[in-house]
Amino acid sequence: MDAVASKARPAVHTSHNIIFAVSAAHLINDLIQFLLPALYPLLKVNYELDYFQIGLLTLAQQITACLLQPIMGLYGDVKPKPYLLAVSLAIVGVGVLMLATASSFLLLLVASAVLGIGSALFHPEASRVSRLASGGQLGFAQSTFQVGGNAGTAIGPLAAALIVLPLGQASTVWFALVAVLGIMLLTYVGRWYAAHQRLAATRPVMAVIKPSISRQRLIVAFAVIGALLLSKYVYIETFKSYYTFFLIEKFGLPVQDAQFFLFAFLGAIAVGTFFGGPIGDRFGRLAVIWGSIVGALPFALLMPYADLTGTIVLSVVVGLILSSAFSAIVVYAQELVPGKVGMISGFVFGFAFGIGAIGAAVLGALADRIGMVQVFTLCAFLPMLGFLTIFLPRTAELHRKEPA
C-alpha cells in the first residue's frame, strides 16, 4: 500500500475559536486587499488611467500571490512557521500605508505588489490551520475560513462609498490600524498552532493513503480544476474591478450608488461560500462543483440584457450560486494529494488569484476597444467551463483502498 506520512493530524475536536479567529483575520486581509479596486474610480480620474492600466494594478497585486502561494505552501508543509501568519498581516499593513501615500502610477504598482505579497504569505498557512482545527469537518472549516475573506471583500465597497471615495486616497491609511488587529488575532492563532505542532510531534506519525488513481488522471484532474478556477475567478475578478464601470456606462449611475450594488454582489458571494462547504460535507464535493458553476450559467447569460433591477437581482443570484464551489474545490484538491495541504492550498489560491488578475488585465485592454458592456456580455459564457467537471474522478475513487 502506497502511503505518505502526515506531519500534523487535524485536531480531534473542532476548534471553533481558532477557525473563527482565522476567518476574522481573513476578513481583515481581504478588506484591506479590496481597498485597491475600491479606489479604481478615483484613481482613474486622478491619474488619468485607462482600463488596461487598472488591469495592470490588479495584475501586480494578484500575480505576486499567484507565484508565491504555492512556494510558501510547500515550504509550510516541510517547515511549518506558526507565526508567519502574523508577519503576513504586518506586510499587508505596510502595503496599505504605501497605497495611501503613493503619488504616481509606478508607486501604485509597487504598493499593489506589496499587498499581494502579504496575501501570498497568509492564505496557504491560514487554510492549513483551518484544516488542522476542523476536527474532521473539512468543508465547514474551509467555508468558514473562506467566508471571512469574502465578507471582507464585500465590505470593501461600503468602505469605499462611505470612507475612501468621500475622503480620498490618503484615508486608506486608517486601515493600517485594522491590520494591527489582524496581527493580534494571528499571534493568538500562532500560539495555538505552535502548541498543536508540539503535541503532534509526541504522537505516532499518521499514514495517509494516496488516492488509487493514475498519474495521468491526476494531471487531468488538476487541469480541470484549473479550468474551473478560471471560469469562476476571471468572472468574479471582472466584477470586482469593473462592475462599477459597467453600471456607470450602461445605466449612468453615480459612483457611490454603483459601489453599493457591488456590495450586494460580493455579499452574495460571502453567503454562497458559507453554505457551499457544509453542503459539500453532506452531499459530496463534486455535487457542489457541478451545481455551482453550471448552475450559474443561465443567470450569467441573461444579466447583460436585463434592466437595472434585473441586473442587480441576477448578479446576486450568480454570486450566490457561483461562490459555493470554491470551498469544495479546495478540499477536493487537498484529497487528490494528501499530506501536501499547504502546497495544494497555495496552488489553488495562487492559480485562482493569478488567472483572475491576468483575465482582468486582458479584459481591461479589451474594454478600452469594445466597451465595458460588451466585455460583460462575453464573460457570461465563462461558467460553461463547468461542464468539464465530468472528467474529475469521483470521490469514491479518491478513498478507495488498494488490496494489502
What is the rounded end-to-end Cα distance, in angstroms, of the chain?
6
SS3 label, residue 269: helix
User: Which CATH architecture describes the domain 3-398?
Assistant: Up-down Bundle (1.20)
The per-residue pLDDT for 370 is 92
* Cell numbers representing residue 380 in the block: 457570461
pLDDT score of 307: 95
What pLDDT, on the 0 to 100 scale, is given for residue 404?
43
pTM: 0.70
C-alpha cell of residue 146: 473562506
Give 11's DSSP letter.
P
Q: What is the 3-state secondary structure (H, E, C) of 55-123?
A: HHHHHHHHHHHHHHHHHHHHHHHHCCCCCHHHHHHHHHHHHHHHHHHCCCHHHHHHHHHHHHHHHHHHH
DSSP 3: E
Say what the pLDDT of residue 358 is: 82
pLDDT tens per residue across all 404 residues of the chain: 333 334 455 555 778 899 999 999 999 999 998 888 888 888 888 888 888 898 889 888 877 767 777 777 677 677 777 888 999 999 999 999 999 999 999 999 999 999 989 988 888 888 888 888 888 777 778 778 888 887 888 887 788 778 887 888 888 899 999 999 999 999 999 999 888 877 766 765 555 556 567 788 888 888 999 898 888 888 888 888 889 999 999 999 988 888 889 889 988 888 887 777 677 777 777 888 888 878 899 999 999 999 999 999 999 999 988 888 777 787 788 788 877 776 777 777 778 777 887 887 788 889 989 999 999 999 999 999 889 888 888 766 665 554 44
How far apart are the C-alpha atoms of 355 and 342, rounded to whole Å? 19
Angle at 329 between CA 338 and CA 295, to 5 degrees: 155
Neighbours of 2 (CB within 10 A): 8
**Secondary structure class of 206 (helix, strand, coil):** strand
The reported pLDDT for the residue numbered 140 is 79
- Cell 469605499, residue located: 160
Among candidates 157, 17, 18, 149, which has minimal Cα distance to 92?
149
Residue type, 127: S
Contacts 24+ apart (CB under 8 A), 247-254: 247/308, 247/311, 248/41, 249/371, 249/372, 249/373, 250/311, 250/372, 250/373, 251/308, 251/311, 253/308
Judge whether 304 and 380 are in contact, CB under 8 Å.
Answer: yes
- The C-alpha atoms of residue 196 and residue 202 are separated, in whole angstroms, by 10
User: Per DSSP, what are the bridge partners of residue 4?
Assistant: 208
Residues 6+ apart with CB under 8 A from 399: 209, 211, 335
CA–CA gap between residue 49 and residue 367 (Å, rounded): 13
Spatial distance between the Cα atoms of 237 and 184, rounded to a whole number of angstroms = 29
- 8 Å CB contact between 73 and 344: yes
The pLDDT of residue 298 is 94
CA distance 37 to 164: 11
Which grid cell is 284? 459530496
The pLDDT, as a whole number, for residue 15 is 83
Of 303, 317, 314, 326, residue with least CA distance to 376 = 303
